[in-house]
């Protein structure tokens, strides 16, 4: 069974191998060496590296924070000094994916991190906004297992899977900012008439993993799923558009709040948006059969809300990459960033 835009094993969807962040120099390197208010790609990259370095040092006070800043960790507002990440991160490389929007002063990044062990086992993904070379917004998420989001997950495979995002072909035809903004506007609008051509080798990932749907009974596909642009897809009329538009690499980041249910899926579970009515009905039927034919312990379908940043890559007139990054909260939740 395959869900449109979502998989039964997962419901939604980064690129350069992680290397150690050099702490020396990063915490002292100035990002305000020019007289104007613009922050270049180099400036934005430095600030992202500073954020990761400050986590490793367990010291957010070294960051160029604005006098007043907004910040959330896994949807919870908090001062950086009260966040878990600044207490637990023990290893972090350079971002596997880094999208930079110098027009709006925003960036999105994702990487695998360690928390208290040498094994990379968590996925960190984040959005920041910079004004006058100071951080005004930090939207941070850390997923530590499939239970945080209800779909495919692999911190170990994230760096390799996201390499191609940061190394698009040098002879590519870049889309205009207007085209990329149109793509953002259509991402969570199933009524959009925007026609999107999907490249044959478009890469579809969820939380670091190329998605393989084994089916709830283990007899499904063994081949990674590709990207899709179906008419039936999760909708959010209040979706946060154009969060990051990286014109150089053709990357678009769009935010949405998606209500749904966490369903049993074999011995594990999967998040299925309420807009995917057919997928939920199929899982209801599977659950009814399992209840009648086995004594397997199964999670009861439970309402939940997925806060997601979907990341798309588009060039040469085609969709080249699709990632869904999502964090689950309770039912009827809203985002602090949508206010």
Task: State the average pLDDT over residues 230-247.
Answer: 94
Partners of 322 in the β-ladder:
204, 312
Write the pLDDT tens digit of every residue in 196-208. 999 999 999 999 9
Model confidence at 21: pLDDT above 80: no
- Per-residue CA distances from 94 to 22, 36, 110, 267, 305 (Å): 9, 27, 9, 35, 30
Give the domains, in start order, of the chain with CATH numbers. 23-146 (3.10.450.50), 163-338 (no CATH)
Partners of 255 in the β-ladder:
240, 309
Model confidence at 55: pLDDT above 60: yes
Claim: this prediction has a pTM higher than 0.85: yes
pLDDT at 116: 85
| Burial (0-12, 13-18, 19+ Cβ within 10 Å), 64 | middle
Model confidence at 331: pLDDT above 70: yes
Backbone angles phi, psi at 177, to 5 degrees: -60, -35
Higher-pLDDT residue of 116 and 49 is 49
**Which pLDDT band holds residue 37 (cuts at 50, 70, 90)?**
low
Model confidence at 82: pLDDT above 80: yes
Model confidence at 2: pLDDT above 70: no
Nearest to 232 by CA among 11, 2, 5, 8: 5
């Amino acid at each position: 069974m395959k869900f449109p835009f979502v998989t039964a094993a997962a419901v939604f969807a980064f690129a350069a191998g992680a290397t150690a962040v050099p702490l020396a120099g990063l915490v002292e390197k100035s990002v305000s060496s020019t007289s104007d208010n613009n922050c270049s790609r180099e400036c934005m990259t430095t600030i992202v590296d500073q954020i990761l370095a400050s986590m490793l040092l367990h010291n957010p006070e070294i960051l160029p924070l604005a006098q007043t800043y907004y910040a959330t960790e896994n949807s919870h507002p908090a001062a950086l000094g009260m966040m878990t990440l600044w207490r637990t991160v023990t290893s972090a490389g350079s971002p596997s994916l880094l999208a930079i929007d110098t027009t709006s002063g925003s960036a999105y990044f994702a990487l695998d991190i360690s928390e208290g062990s040498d094994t990379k086992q968590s996925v960190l993904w984040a959005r920041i906004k910079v004004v006058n070379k100071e951080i005004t917004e930090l939207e941070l998420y850390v997923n530590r297992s499939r239970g945080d989001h209800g779909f495919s997950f692999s911190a170990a495979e994230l760096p390799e899977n996201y390499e191609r995002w940061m190394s698009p072909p040098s002879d590519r035809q870049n889309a205009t900012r207007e085209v990329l903004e149109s793509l953002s506007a259509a991402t969570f609008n199933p009524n959009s008439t925007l026609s999107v051509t999907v490249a044959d080798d478009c890469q579809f990932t969820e939380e670091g993993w190329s998605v393989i749907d084994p089916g709830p009974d283990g007899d499904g596909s063994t081949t990674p799923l590709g990207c899709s642009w179906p008419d039936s897809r999760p909708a959010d009329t209040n979706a946060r558009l154009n969060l990051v538009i990286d014109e150089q690499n053709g990357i678009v980041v769009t935010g949405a709040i998606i209500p749904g249910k966490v369903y049993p899926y074999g011995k594990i579970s999967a998040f299925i948006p309420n807009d995917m009515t057919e997928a939920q009905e199929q899982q209801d039927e599977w659950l009814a059969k399992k209840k009648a034919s086995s004594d397997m312990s199964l999670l009861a379908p439970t309402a939940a809300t997925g806060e997601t940043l979907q990341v798309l890559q588009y060039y040469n007139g085609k969709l080249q990459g699709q990632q869904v990054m999502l964090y689950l909260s309770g039912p009827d939740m809203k985002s602090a960033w949508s206010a």
